Amino acid sequence: MEGEGGGEGEEEAEDAVVLSSRLLRGRRQQVDVRLTRRVLTWKDVNKTTKCGNVGFGHFSGTAACPRIQVCEIVAVQDGDGTHPITEPAEGEAVAKQHKKPHPHAFTVCYVRRSAQHRWLSRDVTFCCGHQSLQRQWITAVQQNLALLSNRPRSLLVFINPHGGRQLAVWIYDRKVAPLFARAGISADVIITERANHARDHLREQRGNLDKYDGVVCVGGDGMFSEVLHGLVSGTQANHGVDQDRPDARLVPCSLRIGIIPAGSTDCVCYSTTGTNDPVTSALHIILGDSQPMDVCSVHSDAAFLRYSVSLLGYGFYGDVLANSERNRWMGPLRYDLAGVRTFLSHQYYEGSVWFVPAPETQRLPGVREQCVARCHVCQQGSCSEKMELKHLSDDEDKFIKGSGGEWRVVQGKFLAINMATMSCACPRSPQGLSPSAHLADGTADLILVRGCSRFGFFRHLLRHTNADDQFDHSFVEVHRVRRFRFQPKNQQLCVAPEDPSGAEKGTKTHTFSPICRAGEEVPAQSTWTCDGEMLPHAAIQVRVQGKLIRLFARGIEHQ
């Protein structure tokens, strides 16, 4: 980052100099510029820096020298970044060119960090004494960049013109496409014409996607979900994996997914980059960042329903979504209106929640430790599914032993049942639904909100918007889990299963049926929201598939 201190002296000593020259920065400032495999640095020859007024070629201890990591260079080109070094075409108004560029200038475009995890692209221009030196510099930087093999060269881009505030096309054309072009990335762009256009295209073309290094969606969580479904389903089909089988081990997708945020919540983008800024996302894509992510597969009995990466919510969030759908035309505001309405209804839902807890070695939710870039918890990988056990203190909880893992069940009335596979941070809730959830640890956080007063629930919701602990309520419990099942009250198990996963092994011996007798009131049922889409079933089974996909992101960096 320009202007940032060094502190990598030893590493730098081993990082051999590729090229160094005395150049002009801009038009006037004389600088000694040095390129190594890892960094581009320069220092003003006339200024005494912290590292002393060292002679040319001596950059040791460049504490105060501006430096750019090579891996954070977007592009290098001739000219001053705004003026191509070509003669104006015949008839072109020379007046348009307010200043003639230096004939032997070259410009390095690089990433600069700004507040709140935003990234900007910035230019620095150097002027050389003659053309061959200019060529030498451009070639040297380009050769360095060519060594970065994780960078995408070719992308498939889907734009949803109707998501969020309906600005997706404008955002892509104005903010993203120019950066991709500058970085030499070619993009095949499809503006979607209907819902599920992107998903269907990816499924149909699944044998034909090798020419791309990644798929980018410009839209919200719904668009991301389309790309996720298209790629995951296509990958399973390519490998002969039957995604209808709840116990199937899914094959990870090879193509990375980029998200240019242009939706209403943009939770996946926000949780993986720390912001919902299109330029930041474009830069993460250009640098070729890679963030693995857990994906939940959701089934109803033996039928596949959907995949989820953010929130599976029954009760409050399910109802917010259902209440918001008819007001889609309102854009992001629809959620606030539906939220107030749902809050006032204060509806409970009865049922049984079954889950397989994550091993004790994986940190418990509620510990205020965030999943960060290069997170050591996620790097440990999804551990084996052999579970360690811990009894719950609540009398209502039963401890169930089964042959396919250790299941627990919690029964009762719930205001909300939320399963967050990652933090679900978004602009409405910067810490998220489950602030310490991890992006790629192979677990999800199950948050159960039981009966409480409206005031209590209001306080719980309010804590999603500040730094207070939303789990610190007697009516909220949270478990870190690998698997999960839900049965609403009116569909209780007729035969209590020895192992609720039996159904997932094709050895189903139990059935679900209404337990209400004639004349008895049928308990209220909610619907599930699955990453913002409604599910048609209330009784579901969920399994976390660790690190199934990768995004062009790197998680939240320390600031």
Ligand X SMILES: CCCCCCCCCCCCC/C=C/[C@@H](O)[C@H](CO)NC(=O)CCCCCCCCCCCCCCC
477 binds ligand ATP (CB under 6 A): no
Distance in angstroms (rounded) separating the CA atoms of residues 33 and 40: 7
Angle between helix axes 333-345 and 454-462 (nearest 10 degrees) is 150
Opening angle at CA 253, ends 251 and 258, nearest 5: 155
Phi-psi region of 207 (alpha: psi -120 to 50; beta: other; left: phi over 0): alpha
Sheet containing 29-36: which strands, arranged edge to edge? 67-69, 39-44, 29-36, 17-25, 119-127, 105-113, 73-78
Q: Which is nearer to ligand ATP, 218 or 539 (CB)?
A: 218
Kindly state the tokens that stand for 248.
């199937």
| DSSP letters spanning 167-201 | -HHHHIIIIIHHHHHHTT-EEEEEE--STTHHHHH
Using CB under 6 A as the binding rule, whether residue 220 contacts ligand ATP is answered as: yes
Residue pointed to by tokens 């059935």: 511
Binds Ca ion (CB under 5 A): choice among 78, 294, 319, 504: 294
- The footprint of ligand ATP on residues 147-186 (CB under 6 A) is 160-164
Q: Which does residue 438 bind out of ligand X, ligand ATP, Ca ion, none, counting CB within 5 to 8 angstroms by kind?
A: Ca ion
Question: Binders of ligand ATP among 305-364, rule CB under 6 A?
Answer: none
DSSP per-residue string spanning 519-556:
TSPPPP---EEETTEE-S-SSEEEEEEEEEEEES---B
Describe the crossing of helices 197-204 and 221-238 by its angle, rounded to 10 degrees: 20
Residues 312-341 that bind Ca ion (CB under 5 A): none
Per CB under 6 A, the segment of 19-27, 72-80, 102-110, 339-347 that binds ligand X is: 339-347
Task: Specify burial of residue 370 (Cβ count, 10 A radius: 0-12, 13-18, 19+).
Answer: middle
Q: To 10 degrees, what angle do helices 333-345 and 316-325 make? A: 130
Whether 200 is a known active-site residue: answer no
Residue placing its CB nearer to ligand ATP in the complex, 186 or 196: 196
**Going residue by residue from 526 to 545, which x/- string records binding to ligand ATP, judged by CB under 6 A?**
------x-------------
Q: Report residue 384: phi and psi, to 5°.
A: -60, 160
Q: At residue 19, what is the residue type?
A: L
Cβ(342)–Cβ(453) below 8 Å: no
How near is the Cβ of 222 to ligand X at its closest, in Å? 7
Q: How far is the CB of 156 from ligand X (least distance, A)?
A: 22
Q: Which does 310 bind (CB under 5 to 8 A by kind): ligand ATP, Ca ion, ligand X, none?
A: ligand X
Strands 398-402 and 405-420, bridge-based pairing? antiparallel
DSSP 13-70: HHS-EEEEEEEEETTTEEEEEEEESSEEEEEETTS--TT-SPPTT--TT-TTS-EEEG
Interface residue with ligand ATP among 223, 283, 548, 551 (CB under 6 A) is 223
Selected binder of ligand X within 214, 234, 258, 339 (CB under 6 A): 339
Residue showing the smallest CB distance to ligand ATP in the complex: 220
* SS3 at position 98: coil
Asked if 221 touches ligand ATP (CB under 6 A), the answer is yes
**Interacting partner of 23 out of Ca ion, ligand ATP, ligand X, none (Cβ under 5 to 8 A depending on kind):** none
Q: Which residue has the tokens 């007001």?
A: 327
Closest CA to 113 of 293, 284, 352, 302: 284
CB of 6 or CB of 220, closer to ligand ATP: 220
Residues with Cβ within 8 Å of 228's Cβ and at least 6 positions away in sequence, in order, are 257, 295, 307, 309, 549
Catalytic residue of the set 80, 221, 266, 289: 221
Binding of Ca ion by 438 (CB under 5 A): yes
* Residue 63 near ligand ATP by CB under 6 A: no
213 near ligand ATP, rule: CB under 6 A: no
Residue 226 contact, options ligand ATP, ligand X, Ca ion, none, Cβ 5-8 Å cut-off depending on partner type: ligand ATP
Q: Which is nearer to ligand ATP, 259 or 410 (CB)?
A: 259
Binding partner of residue 193 among ligand X, ligand ATP, Ca ion, none, CB under 5 to 8 Å per kind?
Answer: ligand ATP
Of ligand ATP, ligand X, Ca ion, none, which one sits near residue 426, judging by CB under 5 to 8 A according to partner kind?
ligand X
Q: What whole-number distance in Å separates Cα of residue 230 and Cα of residue 394?
A: 42
Reduce the DSSP state of residue 435 to 3 states and report it.
coil
We find the least distance from the C-beta atom of residue 359 to Ca ion, in angstroms, to be 14
Q: Which one of the spans 10-18, 56-64, 314-322, 486-494 is the region binding ligand X (CB under 6 A)?
A: 314-322
Q: Which does 219 bind (CB under 5 to 8 A by kind): Ca ion, ligand ATP, ligand X, none?
A: ligand ATP
**Pick 264 or 281: Cβ nearer ligand ATP:** 264
For the bound state, the minimum distance from the C-beta of residue 426 to ligand X, rounded and expressed in Å, comes to 5
What part of residues 243-272 is at the interface with ligand ATP (CB under 6 A)?
263-266
Q: How far is the CB of 145 from ligand ATP (least distance, A)?
A: 32
The DSSP string of 143-159 is HHHHT-TTS-SEEEEEE
User: With binding defined as CB under 6 A, does residue 192 bind ligand ATP?
Assistant: yes
Q: Which of 204, 183, 44 is CA-nearest to residue 108? A: 183
**Pattern 458-477, binding to ligand X, x per CB under 6 A?**
x--xx-xx------------
Nearer to Ca ion, 443 or 491 (CB): 443
Q: Binding ligand X by CB under 6 A: which of 287, 351, 531, 538?
A: 531
User: Should residue 131 be labelled a site residue for ligand X when binding is judged by CB under 6 A?
Assistant: no
Q: Based on the shown chain and the rule CB under 6 A, indicate whether residue 429 belongs to the binding site for ligand X.
A: yes
| Interface stretch with ligand ATP, choices 74-82, 86-94, 221-229, 432-440 (CB under 6 A) | 221-229
Which residues of this chain interact with ligand X, rule CB under 6 A? 220-221, 265, 267, 310-311, 317, 320-321, 335-336, 339-340, 343, 424, 426, 428-429, 433, 458, 461-462, 464-465, 529, 531-532
Active-site annotation, residues:
221
Q: Which residues sit at the interface with ligand ATP, rule CB under 6 A?
A: 160-164, 192-197, 219-223, 226, 263-266, 532
